[in-house]
Amino acid sequence: MQSASQQNTFAADVLRGLSASPKYLSSKYFYDDEGSRLFQEIMKLPEYYLTRVEYEIFSEQTAEIYAAFKAEIGEFDLIELGAGDGAKTSLLVDFFLKRQAAFTYVPIDISAEALKCLSEKFAAQFSNLSIQAEQGDYFLTLQTFKSKSERRKIILFLGSNIGNFGKAQAQDFFKSLRAVINEGDGLFIGFDLQKDPRTILRAYDDAQGVTAEFNLNLLTRMNRELGADFNEKEFSHYASYHPIEGAARSFLMSRKAQTVSVEALNETFHFAAWEPIFMEISQKYTLSIIEEMAQASGFEVTENFFDDKKFYVNSLWKPI
Ligand code: AVJ
């Protein structure tokens, strides 16, 4: 269940996005229970390489990652932003526990349902793991970091979740993160790298149409939670990749001229035929952009971990 204030933020964000030109909606609202389920389906798609290559890095380089974290030294909090199903993290957790590393796992996720599944799964799988789950927008939970504990923090930001920010917003995010952590803490980030643009585009335009459903589900969510009357059949999903910007973007296109009303906002919105709603950016990086971004936000890149094909990098940053 959503609290009243979260509901207001959703309504307010929808109002802002659908009143803007061009129209947009925020991809952070994709993850209601159905959206989280659809994302689990996306991760199994043959076209969606991201999850598999990151999993490969975690399973083949666990010992190297453990060593780079200096996880054997002292107590720490292993904080995961946007934890999702924790599949990759469980590889680390397993390895860390076997080495008797002393840590508390702190998964943070916007989806209460995903957090509940994750906590139950980890509690069953790792009987002596200490877990402190937190539900919320990770931008907002950053503010609580300073008061959290005296322990060292290792912050995981996996799955190319950073891609949803776009470059400028990612830069701001890392600066805010830098302001709430200390020397000796670490940041471990998953970046999807620029590659054959066809490979990238296919990942966001799968043959089975699961990504389309994932986008259209936000219309269904607005119908249910905000009393909107979107007809999902009158919108279609469109994905693009811009190789200079390194940006994959997705849109819902209004298939005809139509007016939609949203009861909770007491508003109607007009869509011209084939007018787009910008739904999501999935930014792809290069190593030099990653390097620059780390420096510009007060970090240095201490180690990069790649998959075999160099499709993806997990980059370890230390504050400077
Ligand atoms: C969860 C943000 C990493 O951008 O690749 C997958 C979400 N969107 N297919 C991504 C997503 C469409 C995904 N992230």
Quote the longest CA-to-CA distance of the chain. Answer: 62
53 vs 179: CA distance, rounded Å: 31
Distance 158 CA to ligand 1 centre (A): 11
Ligand 1 binding pocket mutation candidate from 28, 39, 47 (most atoms within 8 A of CB): 39
For residue 210 and ligand 1, the question of a CB distance below 6 A is answered with no
Q: In this structure, what are the phi and psi dihedrals at residue 108, rounded to the nearest 5 degrees?
A: -120, 125
Q: What is the DSSP string of 142-190?
A: GGGSTTT-SSEEEEEE-TTGGGGGHHHHHHHHHHHHHHT--TT-EEEEE
Cα 303 to the center of its chain, rounded Å:
22
For residue 50 and ligand 1, the question of a CB distance below 6 A is answered with yes
Distance 289 CA to ligand 1 centre (A): 20
Q: What is the DSSP string of 13-32?
A: HHHHHHHSSSEE--GGGG-S
Q: Is the dihedral of CA 68, 63, 46, 116 positive or negative?
A: negative
Pairing of strands 235-242, 130-131: unpaired
Atom from ligand 1 closest to the CA of residue 214: 12
- Which amino acid, one-letter code, is at 263? E
Burial zone of 253 (CB within 10 Å; 0-12 exposed, 13-18 middle, 19+ buried): middle
Q: In this structure, what are the phi and psi dihedrals at residue 315, rounded to the nearest 5 degrees?
A: -110, 125
For residue 159 and ligand 1, the question of a CB distance below 6 A is answered with yes
What residue owns the CA closest to ligand 1's atom 4? Answer: 282
Cβ neighbours of residue 312 under 8 Å, at least 6 residues apart?
Answer: 49, 50, 53, 54, 57, 160, 190, 191, 192, 193, 306
Residue pointed to by tokens 């934890």: 83
For residue 114 and ligand 1, the question of a CB distance below 6 A is answered with no
209 vs 51: CA distance, rounded Å: 18
The helix or strand, by DSSP H or E, that contains position 206, with its residue range, turns out to be none
Q: In this structure, what are the phi and psi dihedrals at residue 151, rounded to the nearest 5 degrees?
A: -65, 155
pTM of the model: 0.94
For residue 280 and ligand 1, the question of a CB distance below 6 A is answered with yes
For residue 211 and ligand 1, the question of a CB distance below 6 A is answered with yes
pLDDT for 5 equals: 58
Find, among 85, 88, 19, 56, the residue nearest to 260 by Cα. Answer: 19
Atom from ligand 1 closest to the CA of residue 84: 1
For residue 164 and ligand 1, the question of a CB distance below 6 A is answered with yes
Find, among 310, 306, 309, the residue nearest to 58 by Cα. Answer: 306
Atom from ligand 1 closest to the CA of residue 164: 2
The helix or strand, by DSSP H or E, that contains position 55, with its residue range, turns out to be helix 49-60
pLDDT for 113 equals: 83
Cα 142 to the center of its chain, rounded Å:
15
On whether the CB atoms of residues 107 and 118 are closer than 8 A, the answer is yes
Q: How many CB atoms lie within 10 A of CB 244?
A: 5
Distances (CA, A) of 166 to 29, 162, 187, 209, 269: 16, 8, 19, 24, 27
pLDDT for 1 equals: 45
pLDDT tens digits for the chain (320 residues)? 455 556 679 999 999 999 999 999 999 999 998 998 999 999 999 999 999 999 999 999 999 999 999 878 889 999 999 887 888 999 999 999 999 999 999 999 888 888 899 999 999 999 999 999 999 887 788 878 877 778 899 999 999 999 999 899 999 999 999 999 999 999 999 999 999 999 999 999 999 999 999 999 999 999 999 999 999 999 999 999 999 999 999 999 999 999 999 999 999 999 999 999 999 999 999 999 999 999 999 999 999 999 999 999 999 999 99
